[in-house]
Amino acid sequence: MESHSDMSEKGESSNNVVMGRPKEEDESESRFNGDNFLNGVASEDEPDSVLSNSSRKRKYSRHTANQILELETAFKENPHPNEKVRLELGKKLSMDSKQVKFWFQNRRTQMKSQLERHENGMLKQENDRLRIEHIAMQEAMKHPICNRCRSQAIIADINVEEHQTKIEHERLKEEVKRISVLADKLLGPLSSLEGSMASVIANPAFGLPEGINGFGGINYANAASPMGLDFENGLSSTPPVIISTSLANVDVSYDKSMLMDLALAAMNELLGLAEIGEPLWVRSLDGGGETLNLEEYARSFTPCTGMKPGHFATEATRATGTVIVNSLTLVETLMDMSRWVEMFSCIVGKTSVVNVIPGSTCGSWSSNLQLIQTEFQIISDLVPAREMKFLRFCKQHAEGVWAVVDVSVDTIQESSQPREIGNCRKLPSGCIVQDMPNGYSKVTWIEHMEYYENVVHHLYRPLVRNGLGFGAQRWMATLQRQSEFVAMLMSSVDTPVVCSSGQTSMAMLAQRMTRNFCAGVCATIHKWESIQQANGEDAKLMMRKNIGDPGEPIGVVLSATKTIWLPVKQQRLLDFLLNEQTRTQWDILFKSGPMQQMVHIAKGQNIDNSISLFRANGDAISDSENNMLILQDTCTDATGSLIVYATIDAADMDVVMNGGDSSSVAFLPSGIAIVPDCFQDYTGANNCDIGTSWEKDNGFSGTGSLVTIGFQVLVNSSPAEKLSMESVQKVNNLISHTIHGIKAAFKSK
């Protein structure tokens, strides 16, 4: 302390300052609140010789009450006065400057000691309280009480972590039970999903308008329709949809509140994208759809999925149209995974619902949130299926107005989990559905995706970027075509060849055939083993073994797929492939000559959309050929065409045509998928010179079609047998023969 050093200079003992005072003086100071503090300074009248004598006692003097009052007032205003202020106080109070200085030092020391004593007392009280609480908690842990039954839960001592684990286990069991009960109410018993995906036709999915007479005078009044395309008795014994409601299968890396926040942000963005027109959206030259202006989008929206990875490309399209379905029924089809997969069986592969968060109102789809994992596919071996996990959120915004939005969840995983971004992700996409006065619905469909373009073959990049591969035009065209199919089917009448129920059974069989063909080409739904990669003249070969599926022959199944480019427009090529007179040029099943068409079932206004049944015609056919029929399903729209066919035993088909169960009819499908190449559209839309690209270097002019030929062949009736090289060669020869016949017809190399 400063006072100690000053007193040292005068030979005074530091023990006589403040803390060295007699006890009674300290008590007196305490009683008078420090008013009679000793000045602790020797009289200046004493000579230096006296001051230097350390053995001599110091002379003390007390301050007057007036001096102490003035000093206390000054202390409150400024506890640390400078030299000038001390001189003024000393002059005013008839005190030396050092006396004033030491008084302030001592007063500060006293205040500090009092504060420390107060804090120590408070800390001691807090310590006593915590010690008592700790003892009480230890006693409580020795004798825990169950919160539900209020009885003793644990008799002996137990490890705290083990106890907490048991409590959490019980809580999770209660949560599983609660969610299971809720799932049974919303989705029905889980056992009902293990057999068939279909529902009885008596439960309509599409609320068709009354009194509408369209499609060539066919009356749709009072017609009930099946749930999507989920027909009675199911379409497959192995449904491509897995609905999981158990917490054991829920991805725990997602927090429900984070999912809901993302869903609401995605819904707001979808509504904005649907409402705004130009310049945000640019209409395509053919008027078939609209493409997102990415620069305008970046200025108008903040992506809720974060920044786009640098190596990703973007595809964003919008399409608008009307469908023969009311808004509520369409929403139910989109939110019911089995019906959604059946409605878009050419686009959607294997699907699982890994979590379901019900809406706020029981029995309503509004505010329903689902976490879905699925595969999106283009029917070609050159484009890998897009595996994606995304949220689907449904919201009713007004009477007859609904919105369903999808958005990827890869950006909101917990920090403890590694962030996984695959080859693609879905930005806010979906549809706005609005009821129209005539019973139809107006649908605005938006698809906005980012993807790694290098995994897509050069041939298909223009198609994908143009939106015809995974874009809104394809979804809208499929929705319109399938809704027409359901409407036509439910208004069908008996014919001399096949009854109305027989037409329904044939449609069920054709739907399953088409879905199985797409799964074989895209390697989805089933687990395939790669045998041979496509290179040069060789096709892509995959193998799987069917052991217990009654809808397919038992044994080793070999899938062969090959994609080629032809300088022929899509419609012209489709007309050639559907022509029964020229089919002998490329189809080995028609080798004995043109076949007779037994049944023709229209699926919509386009006459090419149909289901046909053929049988061999002529006297030269063998008994085996006479017992085999060919079922063919044709689907076509502006985004592509698909012809799928399979040989069916005549006895089995007779049961189907009489309205019998088609789920056990065994077959292996083959077919041809056609899409426009989009090379010219790609050149104009992307402002690039295709003359330097891979396509022009290989002779592609941009006025043709991409054609994928696929076969599934039973090479051995025993699943235990290994695949032989002879079987591989036969399948290679089969697909080569088909490709050669089609190319020869158009004089293409």
pLDDT digits (tens, 9 = 90+) for 365-379: 777 888 999 999 999
Quote the CA–CA distance of 55 and 12 in Å, as a whole number.
9
* 313-332 pLDDT per residue, tens: 889 999 999 998 888 989 99
Report the C-alpha gap between 686 and 679 in whole angstroms. 10
Checking if the pLDDT of 249 tops 60, the result is: no
d(CA 627, CA 615): 9
C-alpha 668/C-alpha 558 separation (Å) is 10
Architecture of the CATH domain 2-116 = Orthogonal Bundle (1.10)
Architecture of the domain defined by 241-411+420-489: 2-Layer Sandwich (3.30)
pLDDT band, residue 183 (cuts 50/70/90): low
Percent of the chain at pLDDT above 70? 71
% of the chain with per-residue pLDDT over 90: 23
Q: Which of 448, 452, 444, 450 is nearest to 471 (CA)?
A: 448
CA torsion, points 651, 657, 663, 668, in degrees to nearest 10? 60
SS3 66: helix
Cis peptide before 204 (omega within 30 of 0): no
Beta carbons of 686 and 465 less than 8 angstroms apart: yes
- Residue 3: the pLDDT is 43
Region for 544 from its dihedrals, namely left if φ exceeds 0, alpha if ψ lies in -120 to 50, beta otherwise: beta
Residue with tokens 């006293």: 110
pLDDT above 90 (res 709): yes
Across the chain, mean pLDDT equals: 76
Cα angle: 344, vertex 348, 353; to 5 degrees: 110
pLDDT tens across 591-606, in order?
777 788 889 999 888 8
Q: Which of 337, 324, 331 is nearest to 225 (CA)?
A: 324
φ and ψ at 332, to 5 degrees? -60, -40
CA-nearest of 313, 289, 635, 303 to 467 is: 289
Question: pLDDT at position 221, please?
Answer: 31
Q: Per-residue pLDDT for 5 more than 70?
A: no
Query: How far, in Å, CA of 465 to CA of 275, rounded?
Result: 23
Per-residue confidence at 166, pLDDT binned at 50, 70, 90?
Answer: confident
The predicted model gives 453-467 an average pLDDT of 88
The reported pTM is 0.66
Would you say residue 710 has pLDDT above 50? yes
Instruction: Choose among 472, 473, 380: nearest CA to 426.
Output: 472
| Average pLDDT of the residues in 210-230 | 36
Token pair of 397, please?
Answer: 């915004």
What local confidence, expressed as pLDDT, does residue 705 receive?
A: 92
pLDDT at 580: 86
Distance CA 466, CA 569 (A): 17
- Residues with Cβ < 8 Å from 236, sequence gap 6 or more? 196, 197, 512, 515, 516, 549, 551, 663
Does the pLDDT at position 477 exceed 90?
yes
Domain with CATH 1.10.10.60 in the chain: 2-116
Show the tokens assigned to 198: 């279909």
Could you give the C-alpha distances from 706 to 438, 457, 461, 562, 740, in angstroms and in order? 39, 12, 12, 11, 15
Tell me the pLDDT tens digit for each residue of 515-525. 999 988 988 87
pLDDT digits 0-9 by tens, 633-664:
999 998 999 999 999 988 889 999 988 888 88
Once rounded to an integer, what is the mean pLDDT over residues 197-224? 33
Q: Identify the CATH homologous superfamily for domain 492-745.
A: START domain (3.30.530.20)
**All residues at 6 or more sequence positions from 415 whose CB lies less than 8 Å from its CB, including other chains:** none
Please list, in sequence order, all residues whose beta carbon lies within 8 angstroms of the beta carbon of residue 112, skipping any fewer than 6 positions away.
none
What letter does residue 436 receive in the DSSP assignment? -
Q: By mean pLDDT, which of 22-26, 507-511, 661-665 is the weakest?
A: 22-26
Give 170's pLDDT tier (boundaries 50, 70, 90). Answer: confident
pLDDT in tens, 328-349: 989 999 998 889 999 999 999 8
More confident residue, 52 or 283: 283
pLDDT recorded at residue 208: 35
Instruction: Phi first, then psi: give them for residue 72, nearest 5 degrees.
Output: -65, -40
Amino acid 491: pLDDT: 78
Statement: residue 575 has pLDDT above 50 = yes
Stretch(es) of the chain classified as CATH 3.30.530.20: 241-411+420-489, 492-745
